[in-house]
Structure 1
Amino acid sequence: MDQAALVRNIETIQATYQDDPYHDIWAQNVPVMDLELPYRTAVWGGSKYFSLGERIKQIITNRRNWLKSSFAKAMMWSNNSFPGLDLWDFRGIKYWIYTLPLEVVRSTRSTYWLEGLRKEAFESYCQVQKAIARNDSGLVEVYASAKTPYHHDIKRLMAKSRGSGCAYVWNLHAPPNPKHTHTTILSIRASPTHLGPREPPEGRLTVQALVKVQTYQSLEIYDRHAKPLHEAAENTPPVLTTSYSASNQRFIKQRTSAPVNEVTEYFVFEKKMYMPTMKWVIRERLYPAEDRVPV
Structure 2
Amino acid sequence: MASGVSRTYLNTLAHAQIGFLSPACSSRAIVSAAYRRPYATAAVATNKNRPPVTAKKTASTEHLSSAPSPKVSVKTASRTHVAATGPAAKAGAKTAAVAATKPDPSKPKVMTENEQMEELDKILAFSKYMPTADVWGQKVETLDVMIPHPILSSGHQLDGLRGRWSQFWKNRLNDLKNTTSMVALASHNALPGINTANDRFLKKLFRWPFYTFGAKSTSPTSWLAPTRKIALDTYLQLNTAMAKNDSKEIKRLASNSFLTDVLAAQKKRSSAYTYFWRFHREVNPTQIVSLRVTEGYLAPDDPKFGNRLMVQALVKFDTEQSLEIYDRRGNALHTPAADAAETPSGVVPAEKQHVVQYLVLEKRMWYDGPWLIRDQVWEVNPRRAA
Matches within 5 A, 1:215-254: 215-233=319-337, 253-254=345-346
- Cα 1:159–1:89 change in 2 (3 A) is same
Question: Which has a greater percent of helix?
Answer: 2
Verify: 1:258 aligned to 2:350, yes or no. yes
CA distance in 2, matches of 1:35, 1:11: 36
**1:192 is matched with which residue?**
295
CA distance in 2, matches of 1:221, 1:24: 42
CA distance in 2, matches of 1:74, 1:172: 34
**2:108 is matched with which residue?**
none
Kindly tell me the number of residue pairs found equivalent between the two proteins: 253
Matches within 5 A, 1:1-295: 13=131, 25-42=135-152, 44-90=153-199, 96=205, 98-146=208-256, 148=257, 150-161=258-269, 163-174=270-281, 180-196=283-299, 197-199=301-303, 202-233=306-337, 253-276=345-368, 278-290=369-381
Question: Which has a greater percent of strand?
Answer: 1
Quote the offset at 1:92 in angstroms.
5.1
Residue aligned with 1:279, SS? coil
CA distance in 2, matches of 1:100, 1:193: 27
Q: Which amino acid aligns with 2:281?
A: A
Please say if residues 302 and 308 of structure 2, whose CA atoms lie closer than 8 Å, have aligned partners that are also in contact. Answer: no
**2:10 is matched with which residue?**
none
CA distance in 2, matches of 1:122, 1:285: 15
CA distance in 1, matches of 2:202, 2:138: 32
Please say if residues 336 and 348 of structure 2, whose CA atoms lie closer than 8 Å, have aligned partners that are also in contact. Answer: yes
- Cα 1:27–1:156 change in 2 (3 A) is closer
Residue aligned with 2:209, SS? coil
Residue aligned with 1:101, SS? helix
Q: Which amino acid aligns with 2:175?
A: W
- Cα 1:27–1:144 change in 2 (3 A) is closer
CA distance in 1, matches of 2:188, 2:145: 20
Instruction: Provide TM-score, normalisation by structure 1.
Output: 0.78
Residue aligned with 1:100, SS? helix
Q: Quick check: 108-117 or 282-291, which moved more? A: 282-291
Q: Which amino acid aligns with 2:298?
A: L
Cα deviation, 1:162-212, whole Å, max 9, x if unaligned, reads x2510000000135xxxx321100000001112341255632101000010
- Cα 1:195–1:95 change in 2 (3 A) is farther
Residue aligned with 1:187, SS? strand
CA distance in 1, matches of 2:336, 2:324: 9
Q: Which amino acid aligns with 1:82?
A: L
Question: Whose Rg is larger?
Answer: 2
Q: Could you list the runs of 5+ residues in structure 1 that have no partner in the other structure?
A: 1-8, 17-22, 237-251
Q: Which amino acid aligns with 1:169?
A: F
Q: Which amino acid aligns with 2:264?
A: R
Instruction: Provide TM-score, normalisation by structure 2.
Output: 0.60
CA distance in 1, matches of 2:346, 2:382: 43
Q: Which amino acid aligns with 2:192?
A: P
Cα deviation, 1:236-276, whole Å, max 9, x if unaligned, reads 7xxxxxxxxxxxxxxx9521111111111101110012223
**1:6 is matched with which residue?**
none
- Cα 1:234–1:48 change in 2 (3 A) is closer
| Larger RCO (CA within 8 A; separation ≥ 6) | 1
Q: Could you list the runs of 5+ residues in structure 2 that have no partner in the other structure?
A: 1-126
Cα deviation, 1:113-138, whole Å, max 9, x if unaligned, reads 01111111111111110111000000
Quote the offset at 1:70 in angstroms.
0.8
